[in-house]
């Protein structure tokens, strides 16, 4: 990855992580999932570029994982309350899927010699913290709900 692309991805990733963190803290569902959705585009683009240069199958795996994250987190205007048990169960499973994808991505960045700049691993850890924060608030308080 050349330095210009890395700089653009670094700034965009930081802004999208801040958007998700803002959404988690303020209980703004649309901001929270928008940050995840649009951040997913960065690994898809970066790993596609890496696959084009060295044809390693691990890049395709990462592309497909982040396409899954992108599809799971497409912003919409649907709002569900705690009384809808199907929606809350699905939201929990989606949160777990986000955790698995981002833990795997952080391990990929930090654990393998992937050539991905280390700041992107920290971004994945930030997204993990956002999901854990939202899930902790959901399970520890029966009155916490998305504000918007």
Domain boundaries, the chain: 3-75+101-140
b/e string for 38-64 if b means 16 or more Cβ within 10 A? bbbbbbbebbeebbeeeeeeebeebbe
Task: Give the residue from 121, 68, 60, 76 showing the smallest Cα distance to 94.
Answer: 68
pLDDT band for position 19 (cuts 50, 70, 90)? very high
Question: Where is 7: in which H helix or E strand?
Answer: helix 3-26
pLDDT for residue 144: 63
Residue 136: alpha-carbon gap to chain centroid: 17
- 58: CB partners within 8 A, 6+ apart: 108, 112, 114
pLDDT for residue 146: 62
Joined together, the tokens standing for residue 89 give 């169960």
Average pLDDT over residues 130-142: 87
pTM to 2 decimals?
A: 0.88
Q: Give tens-digit pLDDT for 52-97.
A: 998 889 999 999 999 999 998 888 877 776 777 787 788 889 999 9
């Amino acid at each position: 990855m050349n330095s210009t692309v890395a700089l653009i991805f670094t700034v965009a990733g930081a802004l999208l992580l801040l958007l998700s963190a803002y959404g988690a803290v303020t209980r703004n569902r649309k901001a929270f999932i928008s940050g995840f959705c649009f951040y997913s585009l960065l690994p898809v683009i970066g790993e596609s570029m890496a696959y084009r240069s060295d044809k390693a199958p691990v890049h395709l795996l990462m592309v497909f994982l982040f396409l899954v994250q992108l599809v799971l987190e497409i912003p919409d205007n649907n709002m569900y309350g705690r009384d809808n048990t199907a929606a809350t169960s699905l939201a929990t499973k989606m949160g777990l899927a986000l955790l698995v994808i981002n833990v795997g991505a952080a391990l990929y960045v930090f654990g393998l010699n992937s050539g991905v700049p280390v700041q992107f691993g920290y971004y994945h850890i930030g997204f993990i913290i956002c999901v854990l924060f939202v899930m902790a608030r959901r399970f520890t308080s029966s009155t916490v709900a998305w504000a918007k």
